[in-house]
Amino acid sequence: MPKAKDVRKKPAHTKAVIKSVSKTKKTPVKEVKKSSDSREELSAVTFLKVWLDGWKKTFVLRGRSSRFELWCFLFLNSIISVTIGLKCCYIMSSRFLISAAERGFDIETIDSYIFWAEIIFYLALVIPLFPLGSLLIRRMHDIGKLAWQDCLEPAFMGMVVVWVLFLTLCYLDETDYVYTSLLLATCFVTTLYATAYYILRFLIMTMFYVGNEGQNRYGASKFNTPECEDKALTLSAFYFLFIATVLTLTTVAALI
């Protein structure tokens, strides 16, 4: 009888073993599916979506932004700004005046075209600075630093220089002209170099420093994976090549 009981229990035991084995076999498949889904999500984040997110967060100074988001915004925005700028420059050029005169446009119409071209040109240059500024501040948060620390130091130096210049202007009648000119030149050069130093330091940190992995005091990381970092480097290379090409073509066109 005990042997018969053992024989009867074997099928239930084998079924449990088969179920456990099947569960262990299914778990790696689920992990593979999750990894493939994450890759699909990463590839689905297009340049347009990241660019629109940059515009939506124009007045958002909290949180973090990765290098991938920064270079996506810069690259797409540079293409759009350069396209608008070239069109506006053509309207403000003499070639447009000649073509408009040949087509029989009135002077008022030509003036209105030039007026709106100037407005659109300056708007295309100034308006993107607002989302770019907030994006750079969030980029500093991604590194783990406070952006205002890099702004307060040059501001303090500028206040000192302004105070020295004010004292110089107050005692201008009592000092020699050569001494005053040398002092003003020294203050100007010092302020210029200090401002350039802090601006370059800020831009290099925001554009090329790698963000903190995981979560820091400003929030969780986003788009900080190795694939996103590689894409950010690629976008930065394309951005500088595009700017260099535009500057070269503009210089050649001006010389011709």
Tokens of 194: 């200090």
DSSP structural state of residue 64: -
Mean pLDDT on 166-177: 64
Count how many residues are written for the chain: 256
Q: Determine whether 203 is exposed, middle or buried from the number of CB atoms within 10 Å of its CB (0-12, 13-18, 19+).
A: exposed
What is the reported pLDDT for 243? 92
pLDDT digits (tens, 9 = 90+) for 23-34: 444 444 443 333
- What the block records as the tokens of 225 is 């994976």
**pLDDT of 21 strictly over 50:** no
For 84-108, write each residue's pLDDT tens digit: 998 898 888 888 888 888 888 888 8
* 36-47 pLDDT tens trace: 333 335 554 567
